[in-house]
Amino acid sequence: MEMQYRRLGRAGIKVSVLSFGSWLTFGSQQEIARSIECMGAAHEAGINFFDNAEVYAAGKAETVMGQAIRELGWPRHSYLVSTKYFWGIHRDTPNAFLTLNRKYLMESIDKSLERLQLDHVDLVYCHRPDPETPIEETVWAMSDIVASGRALYWGTSEWSADEIRAAWLIAEQHHLRKPVVEQPEYNLFNRSKVEKEFSRLYDDIGLGLTTWSPLASGLLTGKYADGIPEGSRGESVEWLREMLTDRDANAKVEDLKLVADEIGCTPAQLAVAWTASNPNVSSVILGASRVEQLQENLKALEVMGQLTEAHKARIDTIFA
């Protein structure tokens, strides 16, 4: 099945319904050559959106992505790149760590562009809300970054509906560039924000979504039913282990596997297809450390065409 493309909310650009992210892979667990190979395979499959963040591997993920784009020689019109700010990579200063103040944002975008070897990013996100910086200051800074041409659109990640609406109204009041996209976690174990909390924002402000962790950090693959496999994410990321080995959660994944078997796909492919089937989701961000893993997950495009309302109802029952 060919790649699908969706409008990013009410924004004019279209993003591939499946996209490719660099969290926990680029610049840390992966060799550069493998990262470049994965990006090449993703682009060849029709993926046009590549997600990043300043904090991923302390800037190294942006460096690797920039090197990949340069080596692969893609024309600039054929892809979209994002980055995100909040966590910072300079923890020895109060003005560039866990913040969305104007100084940090205006300086960070320039450093990201250097690492990515680009003159602009397509999307820039506020990676988390900052309760210590007035939202007005953050909105003005993000709007100015877009106005300067260093980014084309801006949005938020893991903000509440009230915070997003507040930012949008400030931009509306002062005729500034408005936030157009939110990047929340969304999967079968984490649904309420996308399906309930944000429900009015889709029509009210035209919010688009680029969602992350469709496999719940690998839990929905089913590979953690018998513990932590060697070489898995659960082995290398200690804070994920308790979630990945939860007995009740893994029992639900086993039930999901029965539905996947009927369709003729893997639980992972079904989980990705289910996430992408939400019409309010513009793009589902995939992560992969090997081309084979990426290609397996891309088969979710075929599963989307086979996923019926009856299947969704059974899945809802399992994860109620």
- Which residues neighbour 217 within 8 Å (Cβ) at sequence distance 6 or greater? 233, 234, 237, 240, 243, 244
Active site residue 104: no
Burial of 197 (0-12, 13-18, 19+ CB in 10 A): middle
Q: How far apart are CA 6 and CA 284, in angstroms?
A: 11
Count CA within 13 A, CB hemisphere, residue 245.
14
Catalytic residue among 5, 56, 79, 125: 56
Q: Which H/E stretch holds residue 133?
A: none
Q: Is 229 helix (H, G, I), strand (E, B) or coil?
A: coil
CA atoms of 69 and 117, how far apart (whole Å): 9
CA distance 57 to 218: 20
Q: Which two tokens stand for residue 57?
A: 């591997």
| Catalytic residue ranges | 56
